[in-house]
Amino acid sequence: MKIIATLLAICSALLASSNAMAAWQEIGKNDQSTVFVDTATIQTQGNLAQIVSMLDFKKPGQDPATKETVNSIIGLNEYDCSTGKYRPIEFKVFTGNRGKGKVVVDQKTSDSVFDTIPNGSWAAGVFNVACGKK
According to the model, what pLDDT value does residue 133 have? 72
Does residue 63 or residue 2 have the better pLDDT?
A: 63
What pLDDT score was predicted for residue 125? 95
pLDDT digits (tens, 9 = 90+) for 114-125: 999 999 999 999
At residue 87, the pLDDT reads 97
Share the mean pLDDT of the chain: 86
Specify the pLDDT at position 8: 37
* Topology given in CATH for the domain delimited by 2-130: Lipocalin (2.40.128)
Find the farthest-apart pair of alpha carbons in the chain and give their distance in angstroms, rounded.
Answer: 41
| Amino acid (one-letter) located at 115 | D
> What is the C-alpha separation between 86 and 34, in angstroms, rounded?
19
State the distance between the two ends of the chain, measured CA to CA, in whole angstroms.
Answer: 30
Q: Which amino acid appears at position 37 of this protein?
A: V
In percent, how much of the chain has pLDDT > 70? 84
Q: Which ranges of the chain does DSSP label H, i.e. alpha helix?
A: 2-16, 122-130
**Does residue 78 register a pLDDT over 80?**
yes
Distance CA 66, CA 105 (A): 9
Q: How far apart are CA 15 and CA 12, in angstroms?
A: 5
What's residue 21's pLDDT? 60
- 14, pLDDT greater than 80: no
